[in-house]
Amino acid sequence: MSSPEITDLLAGIAEGAAERERSDEGPFDQVAAVARAGLTALSLPVEEGGRGASIRELFAFVIDLAEADPIVAHVLRTHYSQVLRFLRLEDPDLRRRWLDEVRAGKVFGNAISETGTVSAGNHDFTTTLEPSGSGWVLDGVKYYSTGTLYSDWISVAARAEGATYGPDGGVATVLVPADRPGVSVVDDWDGMGQRRTGTGTTRFERVPVHPEEFLSVRPRHERRAASDVPFLQLYLHAVVAGVLRSVVTDAAGLVRSRTRTFDHAPAPSPVDDPILQETVGRLAATAWVAESAVLTAADAVAAAEDDEAAGPAASYAVSAVKVHLDRVATDAATALFDVGGASASSTAKNLDRHWRNLRTITLHNPASYKAAALGRLRIAGQPLPANGYF
């Protein structure tokens, strides 16, 4: 999906990204620029006002965007997933309503996860939707609401009260405007990395919800579309792949900027030092393999989008990418410093942001549990778990 317009946009987003990270400045203008360029509608068919990007092409753009600024890329994770969900809607009026919002450049955030004692990935929400007059009211507190700080609409998952969907109850997904009375988006994410993604608290206090704002209501344990979770998980790895490109760029630039080396170095000039050349070469190889793995897994996700039976293969592919990338990505961000010496640790250079951002992304779910699940599948044929992480 490359074009001079997109190239210029990405260059503009990249400019100042490191400084925004250092000064804790949110990329509000940069997210808005992506929307104004029509790139939040990237995956809409051309005849519906989009650019007709395939899932592979969408992930390729996310990698490019993450290279420019991983915060901006991460902010749009829920948005791009939500657009694919809109495209699956069978009700033509509902589909048109929400695609019109996408075409208008509106950005969609999320309020799904909750803290507490319930295990992560479980849909036993404490947030509730209760009937009230001709509509409903929404009450609850969500966390890890990535992107919602920058969004126009918030996708909220809640327990549907007053409706019977089996003994476990129903889960409703509704879309409410971010500026509706009773909605509070709190910028309280204090992670060491991905600092300005808006991954904080969202509160809903007696928020009115209209019937036309319901996207779906389903039994709590009903499986989602086969591509939904693999898409969301792979998106994180696409951000990782973009960050790794930046690691390579910064490593090569660091070597070129050095004017002296150690007395015992194998070459008088850093650019001619075979040890530094090897280190940068290994980083380049890591970044290339990461991107290739993400795009290969994107094809598996696309297959699951077309055929529910391909869902397990997509989950396997995405899990395998995570298990591998989590370790090599953080190792690469550490190795970056090996080509610089003590001056590379300067806060002015801000090179530690790559490790902090990568490590924060990898903590979304432990690779050890994913690896164990892959092992059980290969050893005993036990299917991968069916929850929000696979």
pLDDT tens digits along 208-261: 999 999 998 887 667 788 999 999 999 999 999 999 999 999 999 999 999 999
Q: Is the per-residue pLDDT at 341 higher than 90?
A: no
CA-to-CA separations, 206 to 132, 324, 329, in angstroms, rounded: 10, 44, 43
Average pLDDT, the chain: 93
CA-to-CA separations, 75 to 49, 79, 221, 358, in angstroms, rounded: 22, 8, 28, 15
Place of tokens 């989950």: 315
Provide the pLDDT for residue 132.
87
Residue with the bigger pLDDT between 1 and 297: it is: 297
DSSP designation for 87? H
CA-to-CA separations, 127 to 9, 133, 176, 186, in angstroms, rounded: 39, 19, 14, 17
Q: Is the pTM of this model over 0.85?
A: yes
Question: In the chain, which ranges are E strands?
Answer: 108-111, 128-132, 135-142, 153-160, 170-177, 183-186, 201-209, 214-219
The residues with which 174 forms a beta bridge, in sequence order, are 156, 214
Provide the pLDDT for residue 73.
98
Q: Which helix (H) or strand (E) holds 371?
A: helix 367-380
CA-to-CA separations, 271 to 276, 278, 285, in angstroms, rounded: 8, 11, 18
Say if CB 327 and CB 293 are below 8 A apart: no
Provide the pLDDT for residue 125.
87
Mean pLDDT along residues 167-185: 88
Provide the pLDDT for residue 112.
93
Mean pLDDT along residues 138-160: 95
Q: Is the per-residue pLDDT at 166 higher than 50?
A: no
Mean pLDDT along residues 150-158: 96
pLDDT tens digits along 90-134: 999 999 999 999 999 999 999 999 987 666 666 678 899 998 888
Mean pLDDT along residues 39-46: 97
Provide the pLDDT for residue 163.
54
Please state, for a pLDDT cut of 70, what percent of the chain lies above it: 95
Q: Is the per-residue pLDDT at 164 higher than 90?
A: no
Provide the pLDDT for residue 292.
98
Give the model's confidence band at 41: pLDDT under 50 very low, under 70 low, under 90 confident, else very high.
very high
CA 159, CA 175: separation in Å to the nearest integer?
Answer: 14
DSSP designation for 268? S
CA-to-CA separations, 355 to 138, 224, 359, in angstroms, rounded: 38, 33, 6
Q: Is the per-residue pLDDT at 325 higher than 70?
A: yes
Collapse the DSSP code of 351 into the 3-class scheme (helix H, G, I; strand E, B; otherwise coil) and give the result: coil
Please state, for a pLDDT cut of 90, what percent of the chain lies above it: 84
Contacts (Cβ under 8 Å, ≥6 apart) of 97: 212
